[in-house]
A and B are shown apart, each in its own frame.
Chain A
Amino acid sequence: MSAGKSPVGADIVDLAELLAHAYAIEVEAAERYRVLGDQMEVHNNPELAGLFRELAGHEEKHAAEIKARALKTGMAELKPSEFKWPGTEGPELAALDDAHYQMTPWHALQMALAAETRAFEFFNSIVESTAELDIRKWAGEFREEEAEHVALVEGLLEKYPEPEAGWSEDDDPPNMQE
């Protein structure tokens, strides 16, 4: 399996490649939240559909900001296998397999928190392992942005307590053996 963590900082060769990673992180995270939002809409969980779409909107805003920054440096065009992700996909992607049709905002925000924390760690590993000064500087700025996102999600989580055990029980499930 291709999972597993390894520092990537030393492998990022220039700013154009760093920007490609930073941009892909935000674009793919936005797409992932849209997919989850669609799932919740299809499964009649409108509160969560709205929340996931809001999260997607934030990521899209960040993606646009990174694209604007890349006007100066250029952005590398990478094939999926050329991305140097430490895991099996981009670090800021909410885990699809954690989704459940009855999930609550607390679950969604836990997914988002884990994703933002992974993105923070990704840029942190670049800062700590690159020998290039400008890569370290820009990765440091991305790392600070991710730290702000982590704090934002943690703040939101204060509004939503963990649901009680049994949240996934459904007396009338959409699918059951008959």
Chain B
Amino acid sequence: MNISNPAKASDFKSDLKPVWCPGCGDYHVLLSMTKALAELECRPEEVAVISGIGCSSRIPAYLNCYGFHGVHGRSLPLGTGLKVARPDMTVIVAGGDGDGFSIGGNHFLHACRRNIDLTYIVMDNRVYGMTKGQPSPTTEPDWDSALSPGGTGLSPFHPLVIALASGANFVARAFSGDIKGTSNMIVEAVRHPGFSFVEILSPCVTFRPEQREWKSAIHPPTVEPTDDPARAARRIMTDDGFNVGILYRGTRRPYRIGDGVASREVGDLDTAFAI
């Protein structure tokens, strides 16, 4: 494949045809990612996109850069390991709300806390799309479906609040249908040092067809991003879930190799463990 210099958005698209349902929000996210990578003037060989399992987690296959379609819920440990081993690379971890907040929930907390310089994109459709429509941690308690008659009655997980409370250094919400806004937000997230979290509301038109209406519910931010976690928390807790924009840009120093680590070479480990 001939890559232009600088690489164009289309250079980041692979030749594989996506198998997502027509109308799925993830098509928009794919486009936004290719535009963001072109905007960042990255080369495909300098970028790795790591995912877990789910419809959304198919995204590395559709991108032309390094990619790894990992184990369900384990994309963040993989991304963390890669970034620590290859700090020169741009590492983007991507997946769904089931992958990231259910089976991968514990990794999410600790990835925020570790504040390693990578970007985590969650395509949140408030459902498990790939396994045919089970409720996820972000599903509304009263979502009535064949698999959850009358709704789960459970309080939804609030990803942005949890990210903020756990130490993420950049917290934002985007809407997949706003391709320009989403790609700008990905650019900002990648540029911001430390762990950047972007929740992208991305409709599942098959199991949540009512989410096609999200495009009329979305509204722009009313305030500027803040570096004050208390203000950010108040704002996130009081919004209606459809407020998009950058909510928090923190100033925590990202984790660096060597922080709190006594030995760095494999040989040093041998010595340390020698009996």
Contacts and interface: CB of A to CB of B under 8 A. Distances in A.
Q: Which of A88, A97, A100 has the most CB of B within 10 A?
A: A97
A97 B212 contact: yes
A103 B31 CA distance: 22
B22 interface: yes
Interface in B172-227: 175, 177-181, 183-184, 187, 203, 205-207, 212, 215, 218-220
A171 to B, nearest CB: 16
A101 B206 CA distance: 10
Interface stretch (A6-14, A36-44, A55-63, A120-128): A36-44
Say whether chain A's binding surface is mostly helix, strand, loop, or mixed.
Answer: loop
Given A39-B20, A177-B132, 14 more contacts: A1-B244, A2-B180, A79-B6, A79-B38, A80-B38, A80-B39, A81-B39, A89-B179, A96-B28, A97-B205, A100-B205, A101-B22, A176-B132, A177-B145
Contact of B215 (A36, A38, A42, A97): A97
B22 A88 contact: no
A31 interface: yes
A147 B28 CA distance: 28
Interface in B22-80: 22-23, 25, 27-28, 31, 35, 38-39, 41
Nearest to A102: B22
Interface string A79-98: 11100010111000000111
Interface of B: 6, 9-10, 17-23, 25, 27-28, 31, 35, 38-39, 41, 132-133, 145-147, 175, 177-181, 183-184, 187, 203, 205-207, 212, 215, 218-220, 244
A178 interface: yes
Contacts of A41: 17
B120 to A, nearest CB: 22
Given A1-B219, A81-B39, A101 B21 contact: yes
Contacts of A178: 132, 146
Nearest to B37: A80
A1 B220 contact: yes
A39 B207 contact: no
Nearest to A93: B179
29 contacts: A2-B178, A2-B184, A3-B178, A3-B181, A31-B10, A38-B17, A39-B22, A42-B18, A42-B19, A79-B6, A79-B38, A80-B9, A80-B38, A81-B39, A81-B180, A81-B184, A81-B187, A85-B180, A87-B180, A88-B178, A88-B179, A89-B179, A97-B177, A99-B22, A100-B23, A100-B205, A103-B22, A177-B207, A178-B132
B22 A40 contact: yes
A161 to B, nearest CB: 22
Contacts of B31: 89, 96
A112 B181 CA distance: 24
Interface of A: 1-3, 31, 35-36, 38-43, 79-81, 85, 87-89, 96-101, 103, 175-178
B39 A79 contact: yes
A43 B206 CA distance: 13
A40 B20 CA distance: 11
A172 B9 CA distance: 37
A85 B180 CA distance: 10
Contact of A99 (B23, B132, B147): B23
Contacts of B218: 1
Contact of B17 (A42, A79, A80, A87): A42
A107 to B, nearest CB: 11
Q: Which of A1, A35, A39, A87 has the most CB of B within 10 A?
A: A1
A38 B16 CA distance: 10
B39 A175 contact: no
Contacts of A96: 23, 27-28, 31
B45 to A, nearest CB: 20
Contacts of A89: 31, 179-180
Contacts of A177: 132-133, 145-147, 207
Q: Which of A40, A43, A88 has the most CB of B within 10 A?
A: A88
Nearest to B207: A177
